[in-house]
A and B are shown apart, each in its own frame.
Chain A
Amino acid sequence: MYRIVSANFLAENIKKIEIEAPRIAKKRKAGQFVMVRVSENGERVPLTIAGSNPETGTITLIVQGMGKSTRELNSKNPGDFISDIVGPLGTPSHIEKFGTAVSIGGGVGTAIAYPTAVALKEAGNYVITINGARSKELVILEDEMKAVSDEAYITTDDGSYGFHGFVTQMLQQIIDSGKTVDFVLAIGPIPMMRAVAEVTRPYGIKTMVSLNPIMVDGTGMCGGCRVTIGNETKFACVDGPEFDAHQVDFKNLTDRNKLYIPEEKQSAEAFSHKCRIGIGG
């Protein structure tokens, strides 16, 4: 059992949770994730390690309530326990001094991009961050991002805050302004990552994306997380989750993530029902 030390909502449905996990706190690097099982009979779900404190032996997760598992996790409070957490998993982000690096986060992807943005800054890059959200209330980690950025932009789809439009339009503007962009990291919904890949492709800008296929073990044992990269099959949990955006078969990933839609719905409905009648967590 692993104890939750702190938990608070950053935006509607997005919660920041700090959990005791000393071994992971000591070892983790930017870009790595954990598999979490909230309760007995729970699924194993992958979540990026947004930060850690080796002294207190805690790690931080930023979780968007999507279906049963993430909503159950987001219902937890300080002092509560979760059944299992294992990590750090995945290959750490490849960090070097590229020059000018743009980190793009969409929605909860901002949280996943944050640790890598920090590492890029520490490696001496000129860091530009673009963080997109649907509207003002959903913007997360604004101050944290500003603190690691040489330039920080926020975009909202509805124009309620920052730049009115998509992250890709902002990226295009930066490129058009004549700045040399040496590296782009894009993490967010699949359509966003795909669109970013199309923006940078003509310029040959090295672009990495963090893929979110469905996982089971997270250690390379099942092959359920396989993704197609430049016509080759890779296991995202050991070979990734970050891959060269220009090589990724996004269509295959989108399709494969639809595998359990009816079941996910069934789980989520049962979970809301349990919450409403007050027996659930």
Chain B
Amino acid sequence: MDPKNITTKERFAIPRQAMPSQDPVIRSRNFKEVNLGYTPELAQQEALRCIQCKDPVCIKGCPVNIKIDQFIKLISEGNFLGAAKKIKEDSVLPAICGRVCPQEDQCEKMCVIGKKREPVAIGNLERFAADYERQSGNVELPTVQPATGKKVAVIGSGPAGLSCANDLAQLGHSVTVFEALHELGGVLMYGIPEFRLPKVIVQSELEGLKKLGVTFVTNTVAGRSVTVDELLNEEHFDAIFIGVGAGLPWFMGIPGENLLGVYSANEFLTRVNLMKSYDFPQSDTPVFNCKAKSVAVFGGGNTAMDAVRTARRLGAEHAYIVYRRSEAEMPARLEEVHHAKEEGVEFLMLMNPLEFLGNEQQWLTGAKCLKMELGEPDESGRRKPVPIKDSEFVLPIDMAVISIGNGSNPLIRQTTPDIEVSKRDTIVVDINTMATSKESVYAGGDIVTGGATVILAMGAGRTAAKAIHEKLSSAS
């Protein structure tokens, strides 16, 4: 169809183009990416579904206001590199956000087509444009402003830190990123698994930043290896951005949590993704041997889905999601829930663990659970789960993964007491500038919001970069 002569009626008639994906049976045993990506034909077809609204409300649903109508138009015209460029005006990591954004709650939720039909697949199209650009080898390096002579330290190399570093480097500042781990990328590397976000994509974004002149220093824990004050006063950084994420796993505080076979989602995913335990013994770090075992993951978010699908890929015979509320309340992306089900994950809803049970050698053997039902709505507007009397039962399992969220790591706040934190230990900032209570120190991402999303972290990094630039420019 010619994008110039297509009628609105014809656009409405095109069905949402399905994302090609690996066969569920095969993929539930490998770590390769599940989604294969649109072909140019599929992408152009999908792009034609966008009616190019005068008031593109989809943009309001995107936390960084990507010019969605414009980039989709470019795709429909076959100008894929142009589309990628358009997206990059507002987003630093489009190949990543196209894959992991909860689109159904953001841009696609607002899309007018979604009122009567399925919304335009904005995320899939964004991913297509970014992948096309990367694979074409035509990634244009942004122009870098002349050096300002100002030095900025970025602590943490997750999406918040990387996007802040990107913008500041383009503006001509000298940027050094300090990362605690031996690998860069934050949750993108150690949390979200390969089958959802191939690591080569993260690597290629990092390469781009290195080409911009950003210096990366791994193996450096702010608060231990060096403090914020030392960076300011001894190493003479003019400003600091803190993007250390939400990295302190919560446990449930129920009996038996320290039995052998009980993991936090962070530990399980870090072992598998960062330390490559799936490749043991080629890689030295072991992880619980899930083969033919029963594994239960407690929680209903993206992290829980990643953990349960990882266990399945490591050979678990039964891989359960155990969640307190009902499926409708699960915060995970819809696509992940759908994929998990296709891969044979079993969903046990309205169930609350009371205790972990173990054998004499202290290995986990089961979880004592209580069945729940939905009662009245609570403060959050979600119906509150209440226990059903005498409904206790034991779920036999060999491994448990606790995925009920993260608090914030204490290292920075303990060593920099003049940075104000909230009651939940998150860093308090002015949301317009991301400035903290401490002069020249900014923060953004999960350390400010608590566990949130990649796109919000990226947006926060960019807001901070803008404010830091203004501050440094006016100071000179």
Contact = CB atoms under 8 A, between A and B. Distances in A.
A185 interface: no
Nearest to B402: A223
A258 B263 CA distance: 15
B28 interface: no
* A contact patch SS: mixed
A223 B247 CA distance: 10
B137 interface: no
B257 A233 contact: yes
Nearest to A266: B281
A224 B410 contact: no
Given A86-B219, A220-B248, A41 B283 contact: yes
Contacts of A220: 247-248, 409-411
Interface in A75-129: 83-89
A255 B225 contact: no
B361 A219 contact: no
* B contact patch SS: loop
A86 B220 contact: yes
Nearest to A42: B284
B281 A267 contact: yes
A222 B187 CA distance: 12
Nearest to B180: A219
B271 A255 contact: no
B267 A216 contact: yes
B59 interface: no
B247 A224 contact: no
Contacts of A260: 286
B31 interface: no
Nearest to B181: A217
A233 B402 CA distance: 15
Contacts of A266: 281
A44 B275 contact: yes
Interface in B372-428: 409-411
B225 A224 contact: no
Contacts of B411: 219-220, 238
B170 interface: no
Contacts of A238: 410-411
A68 interface: yes
Nearest to A251: B362
Contacts of A264: 286
B264 A223 contact: yes
B284 A69 contact: yes
A82 to B, nearest CB: 11
A226 B252 CA distance: 13
Contact of B275 (A23, A27, A216): A216
Interface in A209-257: 216-217, 219-224, 226, 228, 233, 238, 252, 255-256
A226 B264 CA distance: 11
B113 interface: no
Contacts of B409: 219-221
A85 B224 CA distance: 13
Interface in B59-98: none
B260 A27 contact: no
B404 to A, nearest CB: 12
Contacts of A68: 284
B474 interface: no
Given A44-B275, A87-B225, A238-B410, A221 B249 contact: yes
A142 to B, nearest CB: 32
B225 A88 contact: yes
B248 A43 contact: no
Contacts of B180: 86, 217, 219
Contacts of A88: 224-225
A263 interface: yes
Interface of B: 180-182, 218-221, 224-226, 247-249, 251, 253, 257-258, 260, 263-264, 266-267, 270-271, 275-276, 279-286, 288-289, 361-362, 409-411
27 contacts: A24-B225, A27-B224, A27-B226, A41-B282, A44-B275, A83-B182, A85-B219, A88-B225, A89-B221, A216-B275, A216-B285, A217-B181, A217-B270, A219-B221, A219-B409, A220-B247, A220-B248, A220-B409, A221-B270, A222-B267, A224-B267, A233-B257, A255-B260, A255-B361, A255-B362, A256-B260, A262-B289
Given A221-B249, A233-B257, A252-B362, 12 more contacts: A41-B282, A44-B285, A69-B284, A84-B219, A86-B182, A219-B180, A221-B247, A223-B251, A223-B266, A255-B362, A260-B286, A270-B281
Closest CB pairs A-B (n = 6): A263-B286, A222-B267, A86-B219, A255-B362, A223-B264, A84-B182
